[in-house]
Amino acid sequence: MEQEVLNALPLLDEKGELNQVGYAKKLIADYQRNAIKANKFRIKEWDYYLIYNGHYGLALTIADNSYMGLMSASFLDFDHKNETTKSVMTFMPLGKTNFPNTSVKGDVSFKNKAIDISFENDGVKRILKCDYPNFKEGKTLSAKVTLSEVPQDSMVIITPYKEDKKAFYYNQKINCLRAQGEFTIGDDKYSFLPEDSFGGLDWGRGVWTYDNVWYWGSASGLVNNEKFGFNLGYGFGDTTKASENMLFYQGKASKIDRVTFNIPKDENGKEEYLKPWKFTSNDGRFEMDFKPILNRKACTNALVILSDQNQVFGYFTGKAILDDGKVIEVKDFLGFAEKVRNKW
């Protein structure tokens, strides 16, 4: 039985263990990095933004994984089915990135010779900026995008780990932010217009165990000129009290139960990410076909760090059922789904 968190308590108690677990529709628990009692090298904090329309997208990340920092930018070209991702890594930031304790308001930035990236949030709008020399074929990526119209509800989950009481995952996903702005790569200019461009935030804070696999899917857009989106995910931690599966329509959330990513495999059991997927649910409220067009694949294997990522963009077709019984039907609704394994 899924459990909704309704009490505005500190996230952690005096022992550094979770006060409550489950899902919420707002960032209700108070996160404080200095309340963590776990090994300081296991703390992970990040903000990831994805902005896109029907033709192209831009993803920006700032992450402080304690022993390793990561600043990343991705250009996603849906029309030509290709992508460019570049990242800058730093050694032992150990919280010096100075992330805000909340997603509601606050700024975070990083600058060195390789990249200048910042996320500014005054509580009403978010301004994302990035200047990244030598991003693609020697050309500079320069971006400024404003996100606004924060919806009433978002997906929030507080996940424990059975094997370590001081490990946890506190995560918020905000869908359907209106996007406006532009980015350039050399002389090529790309614009985001508020009528057809949307942004999403993946806000993560936690203490992770070493080896994890997760599945995550998300999409934001318009259905019959109304904002619609969804967040799907599972794979690590103890999710008996809550999943992160949620639908968003007109700014309001509908909680759904368990969703399965049915990724096609070859005769040897290896995933074939660019073949059609199916999404099924145990409550029948999310049933989708997924037609991939682009796999943002990245694999890093360096000593104790392993990251195998397949973030697949494509088109969802099917139905989702809201809490009030309303059926939302979509056809070729652009979003992504991913499988990631990290040892970090």
Q: Half-sphere exposure of 134 toward its Cβ, with a 13 Å CA cutoff? A: 5
Total structural domains in the chain? 1
Other CB atoms within 10 Å distance of the CB of residue 125: 15
Greater confidence (298 vs 258) lies with 258
Predicted local distance difference test score (pLDDT) of residue 293:
98
> pLDDT tens-digit profile of 2-54?
999 999 999 999 999 999 999 999 999 999 999 999 999 999 999 999 999 99
Residue 41: give the domain boundaries. 22-218+228-251
**C-alpha to C-alpha distance for 34 and 20, rounded to whole angstroms:** 18
Q: What is the mean pLDDT of residues 155-168?
A: 97
Instruction: Quickly state the pLDDT bin for 185 (edges 50, 70, 90).
Output: very high
Any domain includes 60: yes
Q: What is the mean pLDDT of residues 133-145?
A: 98
> pLDDT tens-digit profile of 216-240?
999 999 999 999 999 999 998 999 9
DSSP state of 325: S
Predicted local distance difference test score (pLDDT) of residue 52:
98
Any domain includes 100: yes
Q: What is the mean pLDDT of residues 187-204?
A: 98
Residue type, 148: S
Judge residue 289's burial from the number of C-beta atoms within 10 Å of its C-beta, 0-12 exposed, 13-18 middle, 19 or more buried. middle
Instruction: Quickly state the pLDDT bin for 344 (edges 50, 70, 90).
Output: confident
CA distances from 13 to 161, 163, 200, 208 (A): 16, 18, 30, 18
DSSP state of 18: B
**Mean pLDDT computed over every residue of the chain:** 96
Any domain includes 291: no
> pLDDT tens-digit profile of 101-121?
999 999 999 999 999 999 999
- Of 283, 263, 280, residue with least CA distance to 272: 263
CATH number at residue 64: 2.40.370.10
Q: What is the pTM of this model?
A: 0.97
DSSP state of 196: T
Predicted local distance difference test score (pLDDT) of residue 303:
65
**C-alpha to C-alpha distance for 261 and 217, rounded to whole angstroms:** 9
Any domain includes 177: yes
| Residues, the chain | 344
Largest CA distance in the chain: 54
Any domain includes 141: yes
Predicted local distance difference test score (pLDDT) of residue 302:
67
Any domain includes 149: yes
Q: Token match 């005769």: residue?
A: 267
Q: How far is CA 88 from the centre of its chain?
A: 19
Any domain includes 50: yes
Predicted local distance difference test score (pLDDT) of residue 333:
98
**C-alpha to C-alpha distance for 219 and 325, rounded to whole angstroms:** 20
Backbone angles phi, psi at 162, to 5 degrees: -60, -35
Task: Report whether 151 contacts 174 (CB < 8 A).
Answer: yes
